[in-house]
Chain A
């Protein structure tokens, strides 16, 4: 079981737990504002953009090339940006903090 924290653009912090699926699905199941996941998780819509807390990058790993290409034109994107439909929920990401981009 992984505990995961989302900080939305209004500064509100929500911690939820899960053990399967993607971080996007976990956020959507808990109505985290700003995570829409329109395409259902195939990396086509960029509506699940988060910034990973810098210290947590080693747990989540970096964005793949396809993710980076999706994000490169986004003014909010930086080196900590991920599309969280591409991050699998597992014990490996327990304690990670995501800042929702939109």
Chain B
């Protein structure tokens, strides 16, 4: 098997039962594995809620390391609708010409750098700087601020071998508090200041709510983008014909990015808390238990995708759920898509081939399943065209 391949560990259980089981810190999760069941569950926010105890719908649960509610992520309609509407326009800025231009410049600079160098450890020296610098655009702050975040390492919440690391989480929370203080003292045109000046239902956002949006913005786009970027580099290292094809057929760029995102499913799953005794896929789930929407499994559901375990670069119909489904579809998706489209186009333009020299897989332990989600490290050499 190729080193860039992400096997589907859910296939047998998805066909047989349609669900899986994970015991997460004594708060078990029933994982929903089929696309249709997942969509129905995601849509039914009254029975499968997001607005539970903060941190509980994340798997692994963050209940023990976080009290702040992530907004709009951990709310349900109608509250969710109002908060989402308040931040939506800001998170669509990546479509603006100036934003796209700045992102292209950042990515071209970084790709030029790695083409000059000898070997590159992609996770720490390519994906992390790329994700961090791009985040300064989303926050509308100076690019140099990315150096602070790069110094935190690849995971805000996770250390290698430790599922949850409260100390690392505190680094982020303390940092966000400092930045909110700064924005209160000296408002600018950054996201912190914009949120502090925003209103929902006629009332200004509270400091705690601003904190909640900022934690979501930092945490939601970090591991996910790092996985997507690193997996893309590994894929093109082993599929030089795909880089070639994107060079000669640039019109398939959008389809290629959606297909990579489907195949990688950078976030394995997200939970919901069950509000009343109910059923998923003909299995009973109890009130106050948890289910999860397993994007990674649904994206390989043969009922919806031909050749689900292959990357079909120009896949035309691709109803993947890597950015979620229904009310809570990913707030950062516009940014992520713009970043990945720019990255893939830049690699196709500038890179002739990528040598894969060394790798260490990042495998998630989901009890019943072990899922490779990307790499802890990936060492390559880029060759210029």
Contacts and interface: CB of A to CB of B under 8 A. Distances in A.
Interface stretch (B23-31, B220-228, B311-319, B372-380): B311-319
A70 B326 CA distance: 10
A66 B317 contact: yes
Contact of A45 (B43, B255, B329): B329
A73 B326 contact: yes
Contacts of B36: 69
Interface residues of B, number: 23
A69 B320 CA distance: 12
A42 B255 contact: yes
Contacts, number: 46
Contacts of B40: 73
A70 B329 CA distance: 13
Interface in B146-167: none
B313 to A, nearest CB: 12
A39 interface: yes
Question: Which residue, A39, A43, A69, has most C-beta atoms of chain B within 10 A?
Answer: A39
A40 B258 CA distance: 9
Contacts of B334: 38
A73 B43 contact: yes
**Centre residue among A42, A64, A69 by max chain B CB count within 10 A:** A42
A86 B318 CA distance: 12
Given A44-B258, A45-B329, A73-B40, A38 B317 contact: no
A43 B315 CA distance: 11
Interface in B65-115: none
A83 B319 CA distance: 12
A39 B326 contact: no
A42 B318 contact: yes
Interface string A54-67: 00000000001010
Contact of A38 (B39, B318, B333): B333
Contacts of A40: 254-255, 257-258, 337
Contacts of B39: 69, 73
Contact of A44 (B43, B320, B326): B320
Interface of A: 38-45, 64, 66, 69-70, 73, 86
10 contacts: A38-B337, A40-B255, A41-B254, A42-B258, A43-B319, A44-B323, A66-B317, A69-B39, A69-B304, A73-B326
Given A42-B315, A43-B317, A44-B320, 14 more contacts: A38-B337, A39-B318, A40-B255, A42-B319, A44-B258, A44-B318, A44-B323, A69-B39, A69-B319, A70-B319, A73-B39, A73-B40, A73-B326, A86-B317
